[in-house]
Amino acid sequence: MKRIGILGGTFNPPHIGHLIIANEIKYALNLDEVRLIPTATPPHKLADNNVTAQQRLRMVELALEGSEGLTVSSFEVDKGGVSYSYDTITSLKEIEPEAEFYFIIGADMVDLLPTWHKIDELVRIVTFIGVNRPGSLGETPYPVRFISIPEIDLSSTVLRARLAEGGTIKFLTPPAVESYIRQEGLYGSSAYEK
pLDDT score of 182:
94
The closest alpha carbon to 3, from 36, 24, 31, belongs to: 31
Domain 3-152's class?
alpha beta
Percent of the chain whose pLDDT exceeds 70: 93
What count of other Cβ atoms lies within 10 Å of the Cβ of residue 62? 20
What count of other Cβ atoms lies within 10 Å of the Cβ of residue 46? 7
Residue 67, classed as helix, strand or coil, is coil
The radius of gyration computed from the CA coordinates of the chain, to the nearest angstrom, equals: 16
What count of other Cβ atoms lies within 10 Å of the Cβ of residue 194? 13
Contact 98, 3 (CB under 8 A): no
> pLDDT digits over 160-192, tens only?
999 999 999 999 999 999 999 999 999 988 765
Query: What angle (nearest 5°) sits at the alpha carbon of residue 40, between those of residues 34 and 43?
Result: 95
> pLDDT digits over 79-113, tens only?
999 889 999 999 999 999 999 999 999 998 999 99
What count of other Cβ atoms lies within 10 Å of the Cβ of residue 111? 17
* Predicted model pTM: 0.92
Average pLDDT over residues 125-131: 97
Average pLDDT over residues 59-87: 95
Q: Does 46 have pLDDT greater than 60?
A: no
